[in-house]
Structure 1
């Protein structure tokens, strides 16, 4: 099933049919253990949608935080080591890739997140900007994985590469995250042969195209969740980006007016436009 957020209404796509329901709180709807079973049992209270369904632009997040995992794929480790080598921090990424404790950091909240068709920003003070397409978990307040969505973890790689301590500035700024278009809700884990694909278009031409299967991730999703929830509580649940294994070549950087398309099997496609982040003074 696919669950979409339309502000005061939720949409549920099941077996090719779309249903709608007025809601007072998206938080209350999604933040529960056994979300899939609940939606099936509650379907009688949803109304069939007769007219054509348009995917809402609202990202599927209300009061949740978005966290992210780093260096979970071998390709990501190699890229991070190369970009940080000049600053003397390359071995940090090698060590965290093999360490029991994963790299976890807070990415943002709804205020810094855009949904399907929204515009993500690149920093003007960064010379190397890329999207990082990531399978993203939705986790309940109790720490159970209840669904999956697509995350676009925008990254200012020249800033992070200058010094690993600059990671928060490279990762967290206005419109630094894309999320959506829905939450794929299932009572079984997403298949390990699920493919993530990234396309970047410039003037309607594909300038980068890459893909990877999620079975290439080094860490178990349950282990990432366990570390995240060790000392943090999430009363509304949490979204966790699980890292990227698709890294554009070093000579590539996003430009304003580029278009980012991230497709993940079973979930759909998240499309974002690109612009410079307005300067705040």
Structure 2
């Protein structure tokens, strides 16, 4: 069961989408209100949704016809890095000018007890499905990073899964690790969506297929696939480190790292179209706009 937000007749609507892609309107104002009501009634979110839509009629349109919004206005988005071997290799390439014969801090964090976790975005900097992600003006090597996102409550419990795009400047990050915030955080540098898959409906989060496609001038320019089975870290491990001596807010999203990195000679350009698909969640689509657009 997936939860979406969309605009219908001038108002924002929450809805549930079943595995047959039928859409059922929900009365709650947003995802957090759904989770809170389920907690108050001491039932699971899935049980609440099923009770709500039991005698409801499916809406007469499909998801592709909707003006989708970001499925949750996350107060904070955090991200984990170097959680896949491919990501470690890419970071090493950035930091060593392509010389992979030198061990770096990325090797160390890949094997360390403590993972890399960094602040990524706020609600104001995050766009939803169909929105524009923006390039940074002082970078010449920028890529999307397709990631599984964990939707957390204040206690660090995973309430759902979504798709995240952690836009990154490989040249800025590779120049100096202290530049990581500038390589990761700027306006419209993060996107989430198109839906939140309720956590209890995911049998195995370590067997989700991820695909990424980048189109330029209508032609497929870059494509890659991965599976969350390739994750080096457990999801609960990442969440536990995020919670250490930290205050979590309901609706916080934690992106879990990427295993899909475009070729080293590739950089995003104005007009590119990014598609990120994760099995059971959907496809997050965003257009790329240039700095200052």
Which residue matches 1:172? 185
C-alpha contact 1:84 1:90 (8 A) present in aligned 2: no
Residue 62 (structure 1) shift: 2.0
Is 1:226 aligned to residue 240 of structure 2?
yes
Q: May I ask how many residue pairs the two structures share in their alignment?
A: 279
Task: Assess, with a 3 A threshold, how the Cα gap between structure 1 residues 100 and 15 changes in structure 2: closer, same or farther.
Answer: same
Q: TM-score, normalised by structure 2?
A: 0.88
Q: Which moved more, 1:202-211 or 1:40-49?
A: 40-49
Deviations 1:25-65, CA, capped at 9 Å, x for gaps: 44322456643333233334866313444343311122531
SS in 1 for 2:178: helix
Taking the TM superposition and a 5 Å limit, the aligned residue runs for 1:230-269 are: 230-269=244-283
Which residue matches 2:158? 145
Deviations 1:140-185, CA, capped at 9 Å, x for gaps: 2221111111101100111111111100001000000110000011
Q: 2:79 aligns with which of 64, 68, 74?
A: 68
Q: 1:11 aligns with which of 5, 11, 15?
A: 15
SS in 1 for 2:270: coil
Which residue matches 1:40? 50
Superposition RMSD on alpha carbons, in Å? 2.3
Task: Assess, with a 3 A threshold, how the Cα gap between structure 1 residues 97 and 257 changes in structure 2: closer, same or farther.
Answer: same
Is 1:82 aligned to residue 93 of structure 2?
yes
SS in 2 for 1:168: helix
Taking the TM superposition and a 5 Å limit, the aligned residue runs for 1:153-192 are: 153-187=166-200, 188-192=202-206
C-alpha separation in 2, matches of 1:204 and 1:102: 38
Structure 2: runs of 5+ lacking an equivalent: none
Which residue matches 1:215? 229
Residue 6 (structure 1) shift: 2.6
C-alpha separation in 2, matches of 1:90 and 1:248: 22
C-alpha contact 2:83 2:256 (8 A) present in aligned 1: yes
Task: Assess, with a 3 A threshold, how the Cα gap between structure 1 residues 243 and 168 changes in structure 2: closer, same or farther.
Answer: same
C-alpha separation in 1, matches of 2:292 and 2:27: 35
Task: Assess, with a 3 A threshold, how the Cα gap between structure 1 residues 30 and 172 changes in structure 2: closer, same or farther.
Answer: farther
C-alpha contact 2:4 2:68 (8 A) present in aligned 1: no
Structure 1: runs of 5+ lacking an equivalent: none
Residue 9 (structure 1) shift: 1.6
